[in-house]
Amino acid sequence: MSLIINGVAVAPPADPRVSLLDHLRETLHLTGTKKGCNQGACGACTVLADGERILSCLALAVQYDGRSITTIEGVGQAGALHPLQQAFIDHDGFQCGYCTPGQICSALGMMMEAKRGLPSNVTSDLTAAVTLDRAEVQERMSGNLCRCGAHNGIIDAIRLSVEAAA
């Protein structure tokens, strides 16, 4: 039994009650993933599981046996930032940075959801390809809170990254 964290197989916790978030932070010392509310309300703990965004505070680590988990440490590193990380810097997408790892993982998952054609609550034409305009990005990122109020910069960074990748 093992979890694949950023491409590396690691043992699950001995205690099956340990959340994926606590396993990442407390056991594996991958502290990029943040604990905000610890109850599914803020998005700070967002990571990718096989490319889909999940809230690691609500996930038991043992549930992800054999699954591939990507944390912010697997997205980019100092000197080799992911373009979305650079966009957050360029567009003032953070102040304290506490929410930023979750914002970035969530945005990457959100972009893949849009590519798969998954609609959001504000998608008007369910038969057309998804266009990540401002309203769509705002709606799809509404589960990631920024208590510093950097939401405008965050949305700008994501939208410009989407446009650059198109």
Q: Contact residues for ligand FES (CB under 6 A)?
A: 35-38, 40-45, 55, 57, 94-100, 146-148, 150
Instruction: Report the residue number, 19 or 161, with the smaller CB distance to ligand FES.
Output: 19
Question: CB of 86 within 8 A of CB of 100?
Answer: no
Distance from C-alpha of 51 to C-alpha of 66, rounded to nearest angstrom: 14
Reference 113, options 154, 76, 141, 85; nearest CA is 141
CB of 102 to ligand FES, least distance (A): 8
CB of 123 to ligand FES, least distance (A): 24
CB of 163 to ligand FES, least distance (A): 23
Place of tokens 């799809």: 140
Instruction: Report the residue number, 38 or 123, with the smaller CB distance to ligand FES.
Output: 38
CB of 40 to ligand FES, least distance (A): 5
Distance from C-alpha of 68 to C-alpha of 78, rounded to nearest angstrom: 22
Distance from C-alpha of 66 to C-alpha of 103, rounded to nearest angstrom: 25
Tell me the sheet residues that pair with 103.
none
Instruction: Report the residue number, 34 or 130, with the smaller CB distance to ligand FES.
Output: 34
Instruction: Report the residue number, 64 or 94, with the smaller CB distance to ligand FES.
Output: 94
